[in-house]
Amino acid sequence: MDIQKVIKEKGFTQNQVADALGVTKSSLSQSVHNDNTSVKMMRRIADIIGCRVGDFFADEMTVEEEGMVALVSAHGRFWRCASTSELRKAADEIDALGKGVSQ
């Protein structure tokens, strides 16, 4: 996930986006460098810079000939799975989150 790259490609600076969000640049920087950035924050950033949340994952969507990539969103989080075993693990985590069990 490369939110910072997409912000730059859309012609914005982190300062501009932070100002529009009403947060500090430091806070935004932590968000864009964190693999656990909330879906809500990604949507807010996407709205400001005029893109889709999926654009933040473009680099990760490159699939090798024999591989797979699944991008799963649930409970305000994203999982990127490159195999069926990773997808099963993500499903287990999602089930646990739905039951209120922390992972």
To the question of pTM greater than 0.75 for the whole model, the response is: no
Number of Cβ within 10 Å of residue 49's Cβ equals: 19
pLDDT in tens, 61-98: 555 545 677 888 888 888 888 888 888 899 999 988 88
Start-to-end CA distance of the chain, whole Å, equals 22
What does 32-88 look like in DSSP terms, one character per residue? HT-TT--HHHHHHHHHHHT--GGGGGGGGG---TT---EEEEETTEEEEESSHHHHH
* Domains of the chain from N-terminus onward: 3-60 (1.10.260.40), 63-98 (no CATH)
